[in-house]
């Protein structure tokens, strides 16, 4: 276990991440930082008091400034402000950059897992502002998108979700790339079990996964699956598991792409991103990944920090 993990943001995603981290005892102390007075303190106290029932000794602490977060070995960034009418992308990036600056100052050695949207651009802002190497700035999206894909596939095939092995690459948005060619059900290629029309429907539902939930909640977005996805990545890092998971990583030539964050297969271990693993893709998947990366590039170009 680590000594200290900080979660920036005590909203639904942040607070659920903190609770899951504590339940898995991934750190001695989990710090939740949020600008709203009383919110992180109240939620942290409540979570800490669930320890005797859930059986964890992790201390959860809430704060409104980053002093308590000092020296964290790992930071999960869920905070950020949503774009409001009249706000430009630059306003958005600047405000989010302000959050990240605090991290650079107080947690200079931390591995940062970024969750805030727009995900791929926020990863880039974090890397730029902190100057941290790519090993220490990783984005969460692929694990979530893959979980949605696996859930829908398991439902269609009528098997356990545990039997579905899959990976979704690309940016976290409409252009994400579920890899049908590498999706198996207990080793059986999924195309042998589901017809093309069903697979296409599932791919589309995966792409719309976040929006489908916003459609139900109206004033909020998903947080149970996103927080589970973050904690799977954190666990891989803390326990040095060398897990191969789809994450947003800074590419330097892998898949023929450079200078952007995009979802690719990543090995996660104690140092953070250990390796981007290059695999053979079907021609349409490679083209889709390139298209997705172009879109991330356009979003990055539209932002000045
Ligand atoms: C999601 O996909 C909002 O990015 C979040 O649910």
Q: What is the CATH number of the domain that holds 179?
A: 3.90.110.10
One domain, residues 93 and 231: no
Are 92 and 167 in the same domain? no
Q: Are residues 65 and 124 in the same domain?
A: yes
Q: Are residues 275 and 175 in the same domain?
A: yes
Q: What are phi and psi of 6, to 5 degrees?
A: -110, 140
Same domain, 130 and 227: no
Which among 139, 159, 176 is the end of a domain? 139
Axis crossing angle, helix 89-106 with helix 119-130, rounded to the nearest 10: 50
Residues 38 and 64 in one domain: yes
260 in the same domain as 115? no
Indicate if ligand 1 lies below 6 Å from the C-beta of 139. no
Do 296 and 166 share a structural domain?
A: yes
Q: Are residues 151 and 291 in the same domain?
A: yes
How many angstroms separate the alpha carbon of residue 227 from the centre of ligand 1?
A: 10
Nearest alpha carbon, ligand 1 atom 5: 210
**Which of 112, 139, 166 is where one domain is finished?**
139
Q: How many CB atoms lie within 10 A of CB 200?
A: 12
- By residue range, what is the domain housing residue 8? 2-139
Active site residues: 172
Q: How far is the CA of 221 from the centre of ligand 1 (A)?
A: 6
Pair 208, 127 in one domain: no
pLDDT, tens digit (0-9, with 9 covering 90-100), for 266-290: 999 999 999 999 999 999 999 999 9
C-alpha 88/C-alpha 131 separation (Å) is: 24
Q: Is-contact 25 58, C-beta < 8 A?
A: yes
pLDDT, residue 61, reads: 98
Q: Are residues 105 and 162 in the same domain?
A: no
Cα separation, 90 vs 95, in Å, equals 9
How many separate domains does the chain show?
A: 2
82, 107, 139 — which closes off a domain?
A: 139
**C-beta of 142 in contact with ligand 1 (< 6 A):** no
Report whether pLDDT(224) > 90: yes
pTM: 0.95
Q: Would you say the CB of residue 227 lies under 6 angstroms from ligand 1?
A: no
Question: Distance, CA 118 to ligand 1 centroid (Å)?
Answer: 9
CATH code for the domain of 107: 3.40.50.720
Where residue 81 falls among pLDDT bands split at 50, 70, 90?
low
Task: Point out the ligand 1 atom lying closest to the alpha carbon of residue 145.
Answer: 2
Residue 82 has pLDDT above 80, yes or no: no
- Indicate the pLDDT class of residue 98, thresholds 50, 70 and 90: confident
Question: Are 182 and 287 part of one and the same domain?
Answer: yes
């Amino acid at each position: 276990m680590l000594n200290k993990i900080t979660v920036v943001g005590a909203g639904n995603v942040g607070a659920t991440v903190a609770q899951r981290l504590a339940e898995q005892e991934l750190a001695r102390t989990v710090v939740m930082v949020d600008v709203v007075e009383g919110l992180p303190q109240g939620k942290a106290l409540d979570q800490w008091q669930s320890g005797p029932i859930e059986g964890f000794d992790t201390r959860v602490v809430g704060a409104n400034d980053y002093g308590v977060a000092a020296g964290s070995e790992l930071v999960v960034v869920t905070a950020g402000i949503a774009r409001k009418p009249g706000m430009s992308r630059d306003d958005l990036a600047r405000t989010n950059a302000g959050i990240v600056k605090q991290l650079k100052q107080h947690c200079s050695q931390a591995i940062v897992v970024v969750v805030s949207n727009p995900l791929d651009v926020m990863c880039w802002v974090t890397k730029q502002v902190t100057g941290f190497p790519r090993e220490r700035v990783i984005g969460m999206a692929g694990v979530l998108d893959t979980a949605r894909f696996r859930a829908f596939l398991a439902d269609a095939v009528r098997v356990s979700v545990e039997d579905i092995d899959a990976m979704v690459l690309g940016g976290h948005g409409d252009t994400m790339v579920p890899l049908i060619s590498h999706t198996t059900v207990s080793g059986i290629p999924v195309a042998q079990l589901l017809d093309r029309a069903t697979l296409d429907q599932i791919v589309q539902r995966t792409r719309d996964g976040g929006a489908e939930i916003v459609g139900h909640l109206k004033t909020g977005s998903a947080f149970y699956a996103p927080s589970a996805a973050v904690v799977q990545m954190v666990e891989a890092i803390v326990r040095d598991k060398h897990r191969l998971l789809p994450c947003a990583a800074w590419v330097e030539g892998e898949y023929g792409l450079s200078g952007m964050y995009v979802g690719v297969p990543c090995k996660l271990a104690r140092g953070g991103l250990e390796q981007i693993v290059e695999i053979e893709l079907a021609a349409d998947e490679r083209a889709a990944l390139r298209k997705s990366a172009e879109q991330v590039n356009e979003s990055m170009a539209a932002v000045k920090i």
